[in-house]
């Protein structure tokens, strides 16, 4: 890409495409452009004003060249501001993170050294004696034990390191101030955003794609058990969010899958959070054992739990997220009194325990009904779908309101499982 041509187009008041701004970031991280040209670009964009497509392209480039931070926690918040209001206040977003974490909530703060303000998030964190790291084990331990983890931008968003000296020299806000809230490497579901002015707020509101991607939880049941380690390593390298593991007892469902020895072996090599689905009678008997292997989510069937509320409480007490699964014939209204207590609801779109079944079309309507129940109740539960999730059904499920897609054969039997996972994650919901 010729930066000279880009700059000439900007002088003619032309807008850049999303792909062009993405390629600019790629070029910056590969040292293709001299600092003078990058300075001219940032200055020109600030004078003209950045468009939505340009902003999204820059974001795409930063995320593509960056390093993801996989946190073993399903729901946490990032508090972030754009900076650049020239008021020289203390770092409000970072201070807010301390308060929120102190209140018992999980926080994954992403930030950098000051470029346009007197104090950036990294300045605050470093002066408190924290050593920046990209070691995921240390980061997850910090989140677990302290309730807060700090992700230094220059360790994860590589482009930030390249433009840091230029931003510091310019001493005025640039497009990178706007990008900070969009490139948290952990991709949190929850974010509290502060803006310097109303124009920035409108820009974010107009950016319809600035939302959480669809989550994907490939089902281990479809993996190659002759070479299971290779498939787990593929999952580790992929964009998969979780690894779905089905436990069947031959009683609640007619099939038998695998037990805790396999769970324990997989847990040792899998870097993704474990999404464990129990298709068994009396799942409450295995809560402590499931927690011991490090499972993130324990999912039990509504139909198998006589005392569901107590079981959910026990799962939470053991340090796990609690999910509830509904069979195809079970209506969503049975969850009215429990929906605010669960972290996720799994809707079976085939009858559990049988392979090769046709997707049950009524699932689409069921997702809509569940989404309405969640919204009206004020619940924060995610919606997960398991059964017949593939290229034709997945987009419709996401449009209906599904948050997490469980897919087995469609992923593991594809010619490029990582690409298949990527394509599922790119599915977007329509605006509410």
Which residues participate in catalysis according to the annotation? 219, 244, 246, 248, 277, 279, 348, 386
Q: Is 110 helix (H, G, I), strand (E, B) or coil?
A: strand
Cα(301)–Cα(335) distance, integer angstroms: 12
- Kindly report the backbone phi and psi dihedral angles of residue 306, in degrees, each rounded to the nearest multiple of 5, phi listed first: -70, -40
Strands (E), 212-310: 215-218, 243-248, 274-279, 297-301
End-to-end CA distance of the chain: 38
**From the CB of residue 281, how many other CB atoms can be counted at a distance below 10 Å?**
15
Strands (E), 334-400: 344-348, 382-386
Per DSSP, the residues of 208-230 read TT-SPPPEEEEBGGGS-GGGHHH
Cα–Cα distance list, 22 to 51, 65, 392 (Å): 13, 10, 29
Cα–Cα distance list, 284 to 5, 245, 265, 298, 352 (Å): 65, 17, 22, 10, 19
Output DSSP code: residue 276. Answer: E
User: Nearest to residue 146, comparing CAs of 163, 159, 128?
Assistant: 128
Cα(289)–Cα(297) distance, integer angstroms: 13
Q: Is 243 helix (H, G, I), strand (E, B) or coil?
A: strand
Q: Is 83 helix (H, G, I), strand (E, B) or coil?
A: coil
- Kindly report the backbone phi and psi dihedral angles of residue 160, in degrees, each rounded to the nearest multiple of 5, phi listed first: -60, -35
Give ∠ CA 86-89-95 in degrees, rounded to 5. 130
CB-based contacts of 262: which residues, under 8 Å, 6+ apart? none
Cα(18)–Cα(199) distance, integer angstroms: 20
Cα(235)–Cα(220) distance, integer angstroms: 10
Cα(79)–Cα(75) distance, integer angstroms: 14
Ramachandran class of 209: left when φ > 0, alpha when ψ lies in -120 to 50, beta otherwise: alpha
């Amino acid at each position: 890409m010729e930066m000279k041509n880009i700059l000439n187009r900007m002088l003619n008041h032309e807008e850049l495409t999303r792909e062009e701004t993405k390629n600019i970031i790629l070029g910056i991280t590969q040292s293709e452009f001299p600092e003078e040209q990058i300075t001219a670009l940032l200055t020109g964009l600030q004078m003209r004003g950045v468009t939505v497509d340009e902003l999204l392209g820059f974001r795409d480039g930063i995320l593509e060249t960056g390093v993801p931070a996989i946190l073993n926690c399903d729901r946490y918040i990032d508090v972030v501001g754009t900076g650049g209001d020239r008021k020289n206040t203390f770092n409000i977003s970072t201070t807010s993170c301390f308060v929120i974490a102190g209140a018992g909530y999980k926080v994954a703060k992403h930030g950098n050294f000051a470029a346009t303000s007197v104090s950036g998030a990294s300045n605050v964190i470093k002066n408190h004696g924290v050593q920046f790291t990209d070691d995921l084990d240390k980061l997850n331990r910090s989140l677990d034990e302290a309730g807060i983890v700090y992700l230094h931008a220059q360790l994860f968003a590589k482009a930030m390191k390249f433009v840091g000296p230029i931003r510091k020299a310019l001493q005025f806000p640039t497009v990178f101030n706007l990008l900070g809230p969009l490139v948290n490497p952990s991709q949190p579901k929850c974010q509290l955003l502060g803006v310097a002015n109303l124009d920035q707020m409108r820009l974010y509101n107009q950016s319809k794609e600035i939302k959480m991607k669809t989550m994907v939880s490939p089902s281990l049941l479809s993996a190659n058990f002759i070479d299971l380690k290779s498939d787990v390593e593929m999952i580790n390298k992929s964009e998969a969010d979780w690894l779905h593991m089905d436990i069947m007892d031959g009683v609640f469902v007619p099939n038998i899958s695998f037990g805790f020895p396999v769970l324990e072996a997989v847990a040792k090599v899998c870097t993704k959070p474990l999404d464990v689905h129990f298709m068994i009678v009396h799942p409450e008997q295995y809560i402590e054992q499931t927690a011991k292997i490090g499972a993130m989510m324990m999912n039990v069937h509504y139909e198998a739990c006589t005392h569901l509320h107590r079981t959910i409480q026990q799962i939470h007490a053991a340090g796990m997220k609690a999910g509830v699964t509904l069979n195809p014939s079970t209506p969503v209204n049975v969850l009215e009194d429990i929906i605010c207590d669960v972290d996720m609801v799994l809707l079976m779109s085939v009858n559990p325990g049988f392979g090769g079944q046709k997707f049950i079309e009524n699932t689409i309507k069921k997702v809509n009904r569940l989404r309405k129940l969640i919204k009206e109740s004020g619940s924060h539960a995610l919606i997960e779908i398991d059964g017949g999730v593939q290229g034709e059904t997945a987009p419709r499920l996401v449009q209906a309101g599904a948050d997490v897609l469980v897919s087995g054969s469609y992923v593991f039997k594809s010619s490029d499982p990582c690409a298949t996972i990527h394509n599922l994650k790119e599915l977007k919901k329509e605006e509410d």
